[in-house]
Amino acid sequence: MSAFHKDADQLRAALEELQLKAGFKSGDLIVIGCSSSEIMGSAIGSATNIDVAMAILPVIMNWSKKNSLFIAVQCCEHLNRCLVVEPDCAEKYGLEEVRVIPHEKGGGALSAAAMSSFTAPIVVESLHNQAHGGIDIGNTMIGMHLRRVVVCVRLETPKIGHAQICCAKTRPLLIGGARARY
């Protein structure tokens, strides 16, 4: 059993609750930001840990498969928060591939794990504000990838390991005035 079994269990519970509360639909795009350092109780970027990433990535992948969701794993700020996706995700959302290979010390542990675990991983610069929601583990700042109107999703599971989590869903913009019906 992995030393990070508890972290994986916490993440599993958080993702299930996120799906229940957010109601993501098949084909939705979900961004995942994660600091393995924060999970371990260290400052973001100071103690990157590939073992943590390899313990939690299967949880994310199983959840996304179960719910028929596309996932985009955000790299760290040193790679301008580019994202690891599968080619079918890039095609569906019109995302342009860039050339970089995320690794543990340049991109972060979870993006490095995604590069070795996804079927045919590619890296894209941006999601062009198309993500329907996401989970931010350890204050990695996923907001730049979300659609325009973001709604906080509060969960019973506030942390993964030592890392605070923040979850979001998006909704269409409400327009009109007194006569508008939503």
> pLDDT tens across 95-126, in order?
999 999 999 999 999 999 999 999 999 999 99
Domain range holding 10?
5-129
CB 167 within 8 Å of CB 158: no
CB 119 within 8 Å of CB 86: yes
For residue 169, being part of any structural domain is answered with: no
Residue among 60, 54, 172 nearest 109 (CA): 54
For residue 37, being part of any structural domain is answered with: yes
For residue 41, being part of any structural domain is answered with: yes
What CATH number should be reported for the domain holding residue 14? 3.40.50.10360
**Cα separation of 166 and 154, whole Å?**
7
For residue 49, being part of any structural domain is answered with: yes
> pLDDT tens across 72-81, in order?
999 999 999 9
Measured CA to CA in angstroms, residue 15 lies from 84, 116, 123, 158 at distances of: 19, 22, 23, 12
Ordered per-residue pLDDT tens for the chain, 182 residues: 467 889 999 999 999 999 999 999 999 999 999 999 999 999 999 999 999 999 999 999 999 999 999 999 999 999 999 999 999 999 999 999 999 999 999 999 999 999 999 999 999 999 999 999 999 999 999 999 999 999 999 999 999 999 999 999 999 998 888 888 87
For residue 106, being part of any structural domain is answered with: yes
For residue 159, being part of any structural domain is answered with: no
Total domain count for the chain?
A: 1
